[in-house]
Amino acid sequence: MEKLKKDRGGGSFLLQQTEPAEIFTPEDLTEEHQLIARTARQFIENDVFPHRDAIENQDFDRVVRLLRKAGELGLLAHSIPEKYGGLGLDKITKGLVGEIVGGSGGYGVAHSNHTCIATLPITYFGTPEQKAKYLPKMASGEYIGAYCLTEPGAGSDALAARTTARLNEAGTHYILNGTKIFITNAGFSDTFIVYAKVDGDKFSAFIVEKDFPGLSLGPEENKMGIKGSSTRPVILEDCQVPVENLLGEVGRGHVIALNVLNLGRFNLGFACMGASKGVLKAALAHILERKQFGRTIADFPATKEKVARMAKRIYAAESIQYRTAGLLEEALGDLYDATDHKLIGKRMMAYAPECAICKVYGSETLDQVVDESLQLHGGYGFIKEYRVEQAYRDSRINRIFEGTNEINRLLLPMTLLRKAARGTIDLQGRIQEAVSSMMNGSTDPKQGSILGREKAALESIRNVFLLCTGTAYETFGEEIKEEQETLMILADLAIALFAAESAVLRAEKAIRENGRDAEQLKEAMAIGVLDDTLLEVEMQVKKLITGILFGQKRLDVLKLVGRELRRYLPEGTVGRNRRIAEAVYQAGSYIC
């Protein structure tokens, strides 16, 4: 992919504006992207969906056969270099395939787990010999992979793992002991990326094969959802791992574990967004057909509001995902042949805040969509015969996968504060500029320009975020890291800004290229997302400020924020939502 802009670093959207030409959007997909998308879509529709019941009933032999069929089609190979049997494609392709398989329930979980966190550690941190041995088989589906990090006493605090590794006297094998739990694909995996502490304290990564002596599996977990993916404990009892299967360096396993999870979060956001589209489509089919009180459920204004709200949320999620895909491609696109693990780790961490937002916003979008879609089904939505029942159950895990949404939220403001502490950004100076702008009312709505009001409102939201960040730090100082209630709200403000900005910039870019008449739906979506965000931001700021400030200072800050945001009071929201819903009805699916 052609470079879009200079790397401004992860989280830079919190400090400065971005221009439409600097972001990647779904409208920028190439013919090659579209070709792979068609292949993936045909595979899911023709090969996976017809066997949905068998997959849900845990026919894992069928899941494995489907994974191997996906390998034959190249759908497991997009993120593996060509020299090792892969396609060596960009992160946009990775996301696009993840989006399409994301709506296939348990199969999609197995597929995405294999192509992402089970394969990428070897792709980026393996030796040439490890890559040559494993990657061709993982690209073809001959080998299926799993990722073993979580332990009974180490979930969100992954580095608290107690699994140990010691070198045997002959120096030929590491001997691993410990138990990993909730391991996706465990029941049918050939390779396991296992994290253990060498000599009890050096957190390290290993490639462990299923037939290595000492590896066994616990029973299949009886899960609420994603039943089509195997989830079992992996038990290591004096498991013998050849020294050449050490992945990366001793004591540097955290670089692999945490950085690969960034890509996992990015990929999970795509899967959730794709699943949201599928669930909305199922809801539309139901409400456009079923009648109550002499008219279809779709005809009721309350239904149109629900559909518009879901469509706007998906539009924002889609805009976030492809924007982040462009950023990741800039950071990682030239690293398939790199051997400098320090550089690889740095680049993989570059957009950690954006990847965290993909995961949080995507998973919460899906939860909202499945909940509203089930509601629109009425009692039918509670019956297994209807697809939305399974989707509702499958959705819930996504707020826990790849680091809980709470952990990912805490990452956002703390990343910014750590950069400020290291002196890599002038956060204090930027906060002062933001406060000055708010006090002087200097944000210009730029009447008459494309989405001028919306872009000015984005700058005001950014200023409000910075004001709140400065107020919180002034209140708590270095102890702010312990003030999780405050950090969570700052994270919500950051997520809201990124979502709204991504939606508005995407619409502006499309309007500039195609004209306003051709992009009326995107314009309506962007304005709708922005208006919803303004209301959300005002509520969150009130919650934050009334929680940490007292007396006149509390009133002064609230007055300043209120004056800033009231300049962009929404109007005509009911009519706009109805127009969005009608466009979606006509398409019979999400459209933009």
Residues with catalytic roles: 402
Q: Can you tell me the distance from the alpha carbon of 26 to that of 325, in angstroms, rounded to the nearest whole number?
A: 10
Are 473 and 479 in contact by the 8 Å Cβ rule? The answer is: no
Amino acid in the structure at residue 381:
G
- Kindly report the three-state secondary structure assignment for every residue of 114-163: HHCCCCHHHHHHCCHHHHHHHHHHHHHCCCCEEEECCECCECCCHHHCCC
DSSP letter, residue 47: I
Three-class DSSP category at 166: strand
How far apart are the two ends of the chain, measured CA to CA in Å? Answer: 23
Neighbouring CB atoms inside 10 A of 473's CB total 21
Q: Give the burial string for 545-583 (b: 16+ CB within 10 Å, else e).
A: beebbeeeebeebbebbeebbeebeeeeeeebbebbbeb
One DSSP character per residue, 337-382 reads T---HHHHHHHHHTTHHHHHHHHHHHHHHHHHHHHHHHHHHGGGGG
Q: Which residues pair with 179 in a beta bridge?
A: 235
Angle at 555 between CA 550 and CA 558, to 5 degrees: 115
Q: Running DSSP on this structure, what letter comes out for residue 534?
A: H
Q: CA 24 → CA 15, 18, 250, 304, 330, distances in Å?
A: 20, 12, 38, 30, 11
User: Among residues 335, 196, 176, which one has the least CA distance to residue 240?
Assistant: 176
Contact 44, 97 (CB under 8 A): no
Amino acid 592 reads: C
* Cβ atoms 498, 316 nearer than 8 A: no
From 417, 415, 327, 398, select the one nearest 359 (Cα to Cα).
398
> Of 305, 291, 313, nearest to 370 (Cα)?
313
Please choose, from the candidates 141, 153, 24, 139, the residue with its C-alpha nearest in 3D space to the C-alpha of residue 84. Answer: 139
Q: Count CB atoms within 10 A of the CB of residue 35.
A: 10
Tokens 């190249």 -> residue = 74
CB 460 within 8 A of CB 443: yes
Three-class secondary structure assignment of 242-262: EHHHEECCCCCHHHHHHHHHH
- Nearest residue to 280 via CA among 310, 257, 250: 310
